[in-house]
A and B are shown apart, each in its own frame.
Chain A
Amino acid sequence: MGVHALIVDDSAAMRAVLKKVLALSGADVSHCLEVSNGKEALEVLSKEWVDVILTDIHMPVMDGMELLESLHGDEMLSRVPVVVVTTEARRELVERATALGARAHVRKPFQPETIKKVLEAILGEEFARGTHESTEGCDF
Chain B
Amino acid sequence: MEPMRALRDAISEVLETMCFMCPVPVKAPAMDLDPAEDWAVVELDFGGKDAGSLRIYFPWGLAVEMASAMRGQADTIAQAEETHDVLKEVTNMVAGSLLHRLDPEAKASLQLPRVVTGAQPWDPARGLAMDLDGRMIVAQLLWESEGDN
Contact = CB atoms under 8 A, between A and B. Distances in A.
A14 B18 CA distance: 9
B93 A17 contact: no
Contacts of B75: none
Contacts of A92: 107
Contacts of A58: 92, 110-112
A16 interface: yes
Given A12-B82, A12-B85, A16-B72, A108 B106 contact: no
Given A13-B85, A14-B89, A17-B70, 17 more contacts: A11-B86, A11-B89, A12-B71, A13-B82, A13-B89, A16-B72, A58-B110, A58-B112, A87-B110, A88-B109, A89-B96, A89-B100, A90-B106, A90-B109, A107-B96, A108-B96, A109-B14
Contacts of A12: 71, 82, 85
B84 to A, nearest CB: 10
Contacts of A110: 17
Interface string A13-51: 110110010000000000000000000000000000000
Given A88-B96, A109-B14, A20 B89 contact: no
Given A11-B85, A89-B96, A109 B17 contact: yes
B107 A90 contact: yes
A17 B88 CA distance: 15
Interface of A: 11-14, 16-17, 20, 58, 60, 86-92, 107-111
- Main secondary structure, interface of B, reads helix
A87 B18 contact: no
Contact of A17 (B18, B95, B99): B18
Contact of A109 (B13, B72, B99, B110): B13
Nearest to A20: B72
Contacts of B109: 88, 90
A87 B85 contact: no
Interface string B1-26: 00000000000011001100000000
